[in-house]
Amino acid sequence: MATPITLDELLRVLATCGAELQEAGDDAGDAPFEELGLDSLALLEVEAVLRNGHGTELPDGFLGRVHTPNEFVRELDALSQEVS
Amino acid sequence: MRRRLAAVTGIGVVAPGGVGTKDFWELITSGRTATRGITHFDASGFRSRIAAEADFVPEDVGLGPYERTRLDRAAQFALACAREALDDAGLAPGQLPPERMTVSVGTAVGATCTLEEQYVRVSSRGERWAVDPARAVSFLYDALVPGSFAAEVARYAGAEGPAAVISTGCTSGLDAVAHAAALIEDGTADAAVTGATEAPISPITVACFDAIRATSAGNDSPATASRPFDRERDGFVLGEGAAFFVLEELAHARARGVVPYCVIAGRAGRANAFHMTGLRPDGEEMAEAIRVALRQSGLAPEAVDYVNAHGSGTRQNDRHETAAFKKSLGEHAYRVPVSSIKSMIGHSLGAIGAIEIAACALTITHDLVPPTANLRTPDPECDLDYVPLTARRRRVDTALCVGSGFGGFQSAMVLATPEALAA
Amino acid sequence: MSTSTVDTTDDAPVFTGIGVVAPNGTGTEEYWRATLEGRSGLGPLTGFDTDGYDLHVAGHVTGFDATPHLPARVLAETDRWTRMGLVAAGWALADAHAGAAGWDPYEVCVMTASSSGGNELGQREIQKLWHQGPGQVSVYQSIGWFYAATTGQASIRHGFKGSCSVLVAEQAGGLDALAQARRALREGHRAVLTGGTEAPLSPYAVTCQLPTGTLSPARDPARAYLPFDERAAGWVPGEGGAMFVLEHPRAAGERGAPHRYGRLAGHAAGFAPDGAGRRVLDRVVRLALDDAGLPPAHVDAVFADASARPGADADESRVLADVFGPHGVPVTAPKTMTGRLYAGGAALDVAAALLALRDQVLPPTAGVRRPAAHHRLDLVLRTRPARLRNVLVLARGEGGFVSACVLSR
């Protein structure tokens, strides 16, 4: 089930998975995940946290398509609208 | 050529589909696979429900009730293999001078089965963080510290030289045997009982690989789920097993009138210093390990008659490894047969490197190259000769065995007949 | 009392950096100062509800916080044990001025001792699995619990691509890792990051240690760990350890390494089947001295294994009396102030021995008030200035592991 998420909610999840958000500050939304200190493992963890904590199941390949928090939010939003 | 060389004079194996060296060799040269739906526990809640399980009967290999209750499954594998290897070498435990015999045992995740079983008891299935020590069994410390595996083997073999567990993740098997060889080469020991063991098929291990999607989710067809180098590969199949060897300094073996399977001609480990699980596609550090091992052996890449690949069947590994072979072996990479026996017996983490050394020793002995099973749709990125489906007759005097693992470790070993080295 | 220089061959490696995380001091100098002042880091076992646990005293590194030292991603991926190792490693490398060394990545390797691995992280994950379900296990279980985690993370953090290793021999592993490092230097590496740490004080880890009967049941930290004492009743577990930079002596000199703490002059190891503890320890000690090219008379101090179990203490003191003569050499155990640190234990002893060599002073065996006479040891009960050229460090790991190393000025 792909439920939308706000940027703030996503940034909170990213922070619990090890993201370094302070430096990026207000630009965190457009920072590539790598720059925020999130590697492939951390992104898998983000996926798991969303599944377990938020009831959001990301479709296969989703993480390969999005590279910044804003892209993530937009793509998830688009997907959830497709379904409904 | 170095003055002292470690020669393989005895082999013992516990593998999925083949307990005992003979059955193991028969399986991996048949091209049949031993991967199946997990039976060791109820895996219905897990993403990957396939494993390569060993049908191991402790009583059949002489383990008594004390050992069966107290020893973790992996320790039982180790003892069974140590016994077979010593028998194979024509040695009784304690026959060789104890202080000149070293024991080196590889394992990545130690006594996982026992730790998990007992955790369930003392925590009331995860209810309590402050678990209940009153429920702890007496031998729990042996499970906490995997050094106990080396202690068990040393006690059995009558060894009193240096003993240790080498635990470098999925290269533990190669690294433990390399460690023993080093101690023989530098004169610390004249003989070794060395190898590696792993019995990781337990909920926590399956779950941890599920979390990173490293294992195959081909649950509908377990027999073909392990597909190294194939275009449709989707991860490794978790396995269990062990392989142990008797190593003797070559002159020492000859003095006993023993013809070794092969000698350890070269050995090297490097690290990619990049990521705990990720691999860069260029395979440079694995290539370097191979180059160093070859240099140590004094053999040129063209002398390699067979490559036993890590070939775990993950998308990234098989690509990384193919690049490493091309970098280190040059044009010869396209001519030499390369195969992955993980296609048949799965990936037993810390043990597999030792099991693959056994496969190389047997390949050299029998001049028969085991195939890569399930390789039906070639991947353009993996364009070497991986010996698909059927074993191949071929003169093999020198084999290269490689491994790669979490932590970024890359290991390589060159095994050869003494004559091939002297040539 | 030694008057001769040690017979080190050219290749006896030199320690050029030390980093320590210990219950009585975080950072090398803080640890050493506390140790020389006899300040113990033992205190009540804490961190969880210890009701029902027959262990009341432990060596905690109270207030250890790796946050200022490690990036968030590494913190998320690692157990406390690895974080201690990485922090100590960072300090050792800084101490050695590694940043200016100009090492090729392939020339440097990482070789640590491990014993129980990522206990707290592992227990957290396995609890989630059994209490909530398999899908709750995090991505970090596969890289944070296993015994190679510290070596792997250190290799990545510092870009070291040489031959890496992880040795498990319980408390003896730290000395064997040094021997492995020496082998790596002989085989062509230029430097090795080596040592070990341990974090065995989480509930399941303590639960696994209790059935051995080796842990002291005492409630008073001042009386809990008393090796060679009339009241010796087992040891106290602790967390922490030490990391080192070990280099080729000539290479260290050429690059201008700022410190030379001492040389690894000799090492030996063996395995003792049941009942053979004394015999094998005797052989290993003599082998280590042979390896260093030293007669017993040239050893100026012994840092004892000091397990505080009467039988094991007797084995150790008997061997020391046989090799060095009764009361023949000063013997000390600063681990009385930290507890037994398993994979970190022998490494911390080596750190103490190197600092003793540097400062020509022996730390005390704290808390021992009634040394049992039958041990016939010159036990160092108070900090003692001494002429130190060569020091012997002993370590025995549960299960039968016996190791010894000789450090020289």
Minimum mean pLDDT range among A10-19, B165-174, C76-85? A10-19
Q: Catalogue all structural domains in chain B, each as residue range(s) with its CATH number.
A: 6-111+146-418 (3.40.47.10)
- Are the C-beta atoms of B192 and B102 separated by less than 8 Å? yes
C-beta neighbour count of C222 within 10 angstroms: 13
B278 and A44 within 8 Å at the Cβ level: the answer is no
Provide the pLDDT for residue C10.
65
| Burial group, residue B366, by CB count within 10 angstroms (0-12, 13-18, 19+) | middle
Question: Three-class SS of residue B89?
Answer: coil
| Residue among C407, C240, C238, C402 at smallest CA distance from C336 | C238
- Are the C-beta atoms of A32 and A43 separated by less than 8 Å? no
- Are the C-beta atoms of C251 and C69 separated by less than 8 Å? no
Touching A (3+ Cβ pairs <8 A), the chains are: B, C
Residue B179 known to be catalytic? no
Q: Which fold has domain C14-254?
A: Peroxisomal Thiolase; Chain A, domain 1 (3.40.47)
Provide the pLDDT for residue A59.
84
Is residue B165 over pLDDT 70? yes
Provide the pLDDT for residue B313.
97
Partners of C134 on chain B (C-beta within 8 Å) are 45-46, 203, 206-207, 210
- Are the C-beta atoms of C180 and C166 separated by less than 8 Å? no
| Burial group, residue A68, by CB count within 10 angstroms (0-12, 13-18, 19+) | middle
Question: Three-class SS of residue B327?
Answer: helix
Is residue C178 over pLDDT 60? yes
A45 and C138 within 8 Å at the Cβ level: the answer is yes
Report the distance separating Cα B83 and Cα A9, nearest Å.
58
A41 and B213 within 8 Å at the Cβ level: the answer is no
Query: Which chain A residue has the Cα nearest residue B274?
Result: A39
Is residue C5 over pLDDT 80? no
Mean pLDDT on B277-286:
95
Determine contact: C273 vs chain A, CB below 8 A: no
Task: Flag whether A55 is in a domain.
Answer: yes
Q: Which amino acid is at B232?
A: E
Instruction: Choose the closest CB to A18 out of C75, C132, C136.
Output: C75
A40 and B278 within 8 Å at the Cβ level: the answer is yes
Provide the pLDDT for residue A82.
76
Mean pLDDT on A31-38:
90
Partners of B408 on chain A (C-beta within 8 Å) are none
* DSSP H or E stretch at residue B413: strand B409-416
DSSP string for residues in C136-171: G--TTHHHHSSTTHHHHHHHHHHT--S--EEEEBTB
Provide the pLDDT for residue A4.
85
Mean pLDDT on B334-355:
98
Mean pLDDT on C11-34:
97
* Residues 6 or more apart whose Cβ sits within 8 Å of residue A13: A5, A46, A49, A50, A53, A54
Instruction: Choose the closest CB to B147 out of C134, C274, C399.
Output: C399
Report the distance separating Cα B131 and Cα C47, nearest Å.
13
Query: Nearest C-alpha of chain A: how many angstroms from C355?
Result: 37
Partners of B120 on chain C (C-beta within 8 Å) are 130
Task: Flag whether A2 is in a domain.
Answer: no
On the CB side of B337, how many CA atoms lie within 13 Å of its CA? 25
- Please give the share of chain C, as a percent, with pLDDT higher than 90: 97
Task: Flag whether A1 is in a domain.
Answer: no
Quick one: tokens of C287? 């082998």
Active-site residue identified among B81, B113, B170, B382: B170
Mean of per-residue pLDDT scores for chain C = 96
Active-site residue identified among B347, B360, B382, B401: B347
Is residue C7 over pLDDT 70? no
Query: Nearest C-alpha of chain C: how many angstroms from B376?
Result: 31
- Are the C-beta atoms of B104 and B247 separated by less than 8 Å? no
Query: Which chain C residue has the Cα nearest residue A38?
Result: C73
Residue B387 phi, psi (nearest 5): 50, 65
Task: Flag whether A61 is in a domain.
Answer: yes
Partners of A53 on chain C (C-beta within 8 Å) are none
Q: pLDDT confidence of C73, banded at 50, 70, 90? A: confident
Q: pLDDT confidence of A53, banded at 50, 70, 90? A: confident
DSSP string for residues in B106-172: E-SSTTHHHHHHHHHHHTTTTT-SS--GGG--TTHHHHHSTHHHHHHHHHHHT--S-EEEE--GGGH
Establish whether this prediction's ipTM goes over 0.90.
yes
- The residues facing C405 across adjacent strands are C267, C393
Report the distance separating Cα C82 and Cα C76, nearest Å.
11
Q: pLDDT confidence of B19, banded at 50, 70, 90? A: very high
* DSSP H or E stretch at residue C378: strand C378-379
- Are the C-beta atoms of C346 and C29 separated by less than 8 Å? no
Interface test with A, best of B215, B277, B315 (most A CBs within 10 A): B277
Region C262-408: CATH code = 3.40.47.10
The parent domain of residue A76 ranges over 7-83
Partners of C161 on chain B (C-beta within 8 Å) are 270-273, 285, 288
Report the distance separating Cα B197 and Cα C115, nearest Å.
17
Provide the pLDDT for residue B422.
83
Query: Nearest C-alpha of chain C: how many angstroms from B116?
Result: 8
What is each CA distance from B302 to B285, B328, B332, B411, in whole angstroms?
20, 11, 6, 20
Report the distance separating Cα C194 and Cα C89, nearest Å.
8
B212 and C270 within 8 Å at the Cβ level: the answer is no
Query: Nearest C-alpha of chain A: how many angstroms from C132?
Result: 10
Instruction: Choose the closest CB to B133 out of C53, C162, C164.
Output: C53
On the CB side of A18, how many CA atoms lie within 13 Å of its CA? 25
Q: Which ranges of B216-351 would DSSP assign to H, the alpha helix? A: 250-255, 284-297, 315-329, 342-345
Q: Is the Cα torsion angle B348, B353, B356, B357 positive or negative in sign? A: negative
Mean pLDDT on B29-38:
98
List the CATH number of the domain containing A46.
Answer: 1.10.1200.10
* Residues 6 or more apart whose Cβ sits within 8 Å of residue B80: B12, B14, B19, B56, B58, B61, B62, B63, B242
Please report, for chain C, how many H helices and E strands are present, in that order. 12, 16
Report the distance separating Cα A64 and Cα A4, nearest Å.
18
* DSSP H or E stretch at residue C396: strand C390-397
Is residue C311 over pLDDT 80? yes
Instruction: Choose the closest CB to A44 out of B213, B275, B276.
Output: B213
Is residue C1 over pLDDT 50? no
Determine contact: C135 vs chain A, CB below 8 A: yes
Query: Nearest C-alpha of chain A: how many angstroms from B405?
Result: 15
Mean of per-residue pLDDT scores for chain B = 97
- Are the C-beta atoms of C180 and C324 separated by less than 8 Å? no
- Are the C-beta atoms of B28 and B370 separated by less than 8 Å? yes
CA C163 distance to own-chain centroid = 22
Provide the pLDDT for residue C372.
97
Partners of B278 on chain A (C-beta within 8 Å) are 39-41
Residue B332 known to be catalytic? no
What stretches of B189-283 adopt beta strand conformation (E)?
191-198, 238-239, 241-249, 262-271
- The residues facing C24 across adjacent strands are none
Is residue A2 over pLDDT 80? no
Is residue C8 over pLDDT 60? no
Is residue C3 over pLDDT 50? no
Residue B382 known to be catalytic? no
Provide the pLDDT for residue B356.
98
Is residue B77 over pLDDT 50? yes
Is residue A1 over pLDDT 70? no
Residue that has been written with the tokens 């979390």 in this structure: B211
Number of domains comprising chain A: 1
Is residue C224 over pLDDT 90? yes
Mean pLDDT on C334-363:
98
Mean pLDDT on C302-306:
98
Mean pLDDT on B103-120:
98
Q: pLDDT confidence of A83, banded at 50, 70, 90? A: low
Touching B (3+ Cβ pairs <8 A), the chains are: A, C
Touching C (3+ Cβ pairs <8 A), the chains are: A, B
Question: Three-class SS of residue C5?
Answer: coil
Report the distance separating Cα C369 and Cα C366, nearest Å.
9
